[in-house]
Amino acid sequence: MATDEERWVDRARRGDRNAFRRLVETHARALFAVCARITRDATLAEDAVQEALFNAWRHLPDFDGRASFRTWLHRIAVNAALEQMRRGARHEAAAPPTRDENDDDDFLLQHGSDEPGPEQHALGSEISRHVETNLARMTVLERTAFLLRHTEGHSIEEIAQTLSLNISASKQAIFRAVRKLRGALQPLR
């Protein structure tokens, strides 16, 4: 039995704009989040998402269903974000994107309790600063692979497909990123 999303994809592939709008509404926030984490610039992320959605609409007839629609769409968005980075290399050192205070799905921002005390709050802020600083120092590939794995929850296979890498290269990029973060956070233990 087909899911709602599979039905929307099928209808959108036949030109139904309302079905595509439903798909956009379902995935736009996640696409923006991953693009913002990759580009570290809200404006570049918005541009990447718009470009990704435009490309998805144009290439929807080419979607063959081998990967899930989510994976296919994320691959387009990641590629658009990486292209934005190539176009605007001067933005690499830009300030981190602004965050929605209600964004509770980012594990880097979560705290150990609902009501942290001053010490936990200060430590959490310090850890967040270290993580953000060290994510900015990573290569785009390392940062993207790490974010797809640890904040977006993609499998190694999905990351490999998204980044057009083999599985070993995907694992290596994630491993290097984790090792760098672990080393940077070691003094805070």
Q: Give 133-142 pLDDT, tens digit per residue.
A: 778 888 889 9
- Quickly state the pLDDT bin for 120 (edges 50, 70, 90): low
Q: Do 72 and 122 fall within a single domain?
A: no
**Portion of the chain with pLDDT greater than 90, in percent:** 25
CATH of the domain at 36: 1.10.1740.10
Determine, yes or no, domain membership for 96: no
Q: Do 140 and 83 fall within a single domain?
A: no
The whole-number pLDDT of residue 117 equals 58
When divided into structural domains, the chain yields a total of 2
Q: Is the pLDDT of residue 184 over 90?
A: no
The whole-number pLDDT of residue 54 equals 92
Q: Which residues contact 128 (CB under 8 A, 6 or more apart)?
A: 108, 109
Full residue range of the structural domain in which residue 50 is found:
1-90
The whole-number pLDDT of residue 89 equals 55
Determine, yes or no, domain membership for 66: yes
**Do 157 and 168 form a contact (C-beta atoms < 8 A)?**
no
For 33, other C-beta atoms within 10 Å of its C-beta total 22
Determine, yes or no, domain membership for 95: no
CATH of the domain at 121: 1.10.10.10
Q: Is the pLDDT of residue 71 over 60?
A: yes
